[in-house]
Structure 1
């Protein structure tokens, strides 16, 4: 899986999440066993804008060649996925969320692994290009 594939997948997933959190925050929270309130709805809708922004960034960057900027996007998403996994497991373990949060944790783990794979393959390809330039 190339960075391009992972970027397109990410932009699609984050667009879906943005729409869901923007227009259906009560249903999203209810799935996790979290009570909806006006405050939770406000935070959910504001968070949806960040999902939308990340979706646009990755869609626009999908064809980016190996660079420091692309590596920053990759490492940022690995960080996001890792922290979301830890938070999901923590919230489940202390009873703040139902076991349905594990579906989100699984998606975050798969996405994080896809970015780790893109990082590794991107570095290998860049190293090969550097070796060819020396020849």
Structure 2
């Protein structure tokens, strides 16, 4: 299914906002899916991650109306690299027994989101070269 950049950016903004709230307010709940124990150090990283997801939410929301351009291309490629990198790391951690199978849900979302940005970027490049 091909999504427009506007739709994809809006959905990404909503997802990142949700993740920001969960990581910031109830990180134990999310960590329990991955079979990771909550500790002071994990809480510190979770709160910092919450702020990062909040920033990604704002960025995604504010660029949703941008026409195909270098900024939009950079954002799309950044999400592709970030999502696919997280998916590889999550899968590797699961294979090594460091996290539970709940991480595979996150891996699936990361693969799908990265693919969606990859496809949206590809369509944008095709439209630019056709013009």
Structure 1 runs of 4+ aligned residues shifted over 3 Å read none
> What corresponds to 2:47 in structure 1?
45
> What corresponds to 1:89 in structure 2?
91
Partners of 2:16 and 2:100 in 1: how far apart? 22
> What corresponds to 1:119 in structure 2?
121
Structure 1: runs of 5 or more not aligned: 130-135
Partners of 1:20 and 1:5 in 2: how far apart? 23
Give the superposed CA RMSD.
0.7
Task: Name which one, 1 or 2, has greater alpha-carbon Rg.
Answer: 1
TM-score (norm 1): 0.93
Structure 2: runs of 5 or more not aligned: none
Query: Contact 1:2/1:121 (CA < 8 Å) preserved in 2?
Result: no
Partners of 1:2 and 1:127 in 2: how far apart? 18
Q: How many residues matched?
A: 129
TM-score (norm 2): 0.96
Instruction: Return the match for 1:27 from 17, 26, 29.
Output: 29
Partners of 2:41 and 2:13 in 1: how far apart? 27
Using the TM superposition, give the Cα deviation of residue 91 of structure 1 relative to its aligned residue in structure 2, in angstroms: 0.7
Instruction: Return the match for 1:18 from 17, 20, 33.
Output: 20
